[in-house]
């Protein structure tokens, strides 16, 4: 099967059996426990479990994303086009970490496995647990589908909370209020741990405001 057809097949045969009972937090990280169940044969299943850590959502602009690492060349070109037309239009940026734990092969059908996992989660009372029924060969595509679903489900409430606090407001320099707050948090962190100075510099450069903050930045070193 061709790669594109495999992905399409995985997408069409992925089922979110038990979604988490909470949205992604707006002002902090969210840690979710996942179970991806796939079938190998009629009475043979694979269970993978792990954690997905959704970092605190950030308010960004296209101009900021142009300077952010991790995008393909095609994606970067698209972002550059958006930055040219709407350089200061705010949006929500989500970043995730996948921390896989175990993979177990069990002599049970996927239906039996899912039933036991549901009972286990009920007993644990964990509102941030999820069960995903996926395709063995591309189980990680099934996990990505869950992340996409979760993001879509959370974004409206996240935007509403940001807007209610004025964090989507853009100042004269083209920075959202939330970005200014994040920079201040980084300054405080560097005061406590100077080894994080490079993280602060990178953030200032992404927003293209290092000249505005450079005196404060160098003072951090003079005060030590």
For residues 153 and 177, give the distance between their C-alpha atoms in angstroms, rounded to a whole number: 24
Phi then psi for residue 74, to 5 deg, are -65, -45
Q: What is the pLDDT of residue 221?
A: 85
Mean pLDDT value across residues 178-193: 94
**Looking at residue 223, what is its pLDDT?**
61
Does residue 187 contact residue 223 with C-beta atoms inside 8 Å?
Answer: no
Strands 91-93 and 58-60: antiparallel
Q: DSSP E strands: which ranges in the chain?
A: 15-18, 30-41, 44-54, 58-60, 91-93, 96-106, 129-133
Q: Which of 13-17, 37-41, 63-67, 149-153 has the lowest mean pLDDT?
A: 63-67
Q: What is the 3-state secondary structure (H, E, C) of 70-117?
A: CCCHHHHHHHHHHHHHCCCCCEEECCEEEEEEEEEEECCCHHHHHHHH
Say what the pTM is.
0.80
């Amino acid at each position: 099967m061709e790669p594109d057809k495999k992905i399409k097949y995985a997408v069409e045969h992925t089922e979110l059996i038990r979604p988490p009972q909470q949205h992604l937090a707006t002002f902090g990280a969210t840690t979710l426990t996942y179970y991806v169940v796939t079938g190998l044969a009629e009475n043979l299943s694979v269970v993978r479990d792990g954690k997905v850590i959704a970092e605190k959502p950030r308010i960004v602009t296209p101009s900021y994303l142009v300077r952010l690492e991790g995008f393909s060349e095609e994606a970067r070109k698209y972002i550059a086009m958006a930055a040219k037309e709407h350089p200061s239009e705010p949006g929500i940026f989500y970043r995730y970490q996948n921390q896989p734990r175990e993979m177990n092969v069990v002599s049970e059908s996927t239906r039996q496995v899912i039933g036991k996992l549901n009972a286990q989660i009920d007993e644990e009372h964990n509102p941030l647990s999820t069960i995903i029924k996926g395709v063995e060969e591309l189980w990680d595509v099934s996990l990505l589908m869950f992340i996409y679903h979760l993001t879509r489900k959370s974004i409206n409430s996240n935007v509403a909370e940001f807007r209610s606090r004025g964090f989507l407001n853009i100042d004269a320099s083209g920075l959202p209020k939330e970005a200014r707050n994040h920079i201040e948090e980084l300054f405080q962190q560097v005061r406590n741990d100077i080894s994080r100075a490079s993280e602060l510099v990178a953030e200032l450069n992404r927003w293209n405001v290092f000249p505005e903050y450079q005196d404060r930045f160098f003072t951090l070193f003079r005060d030590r």
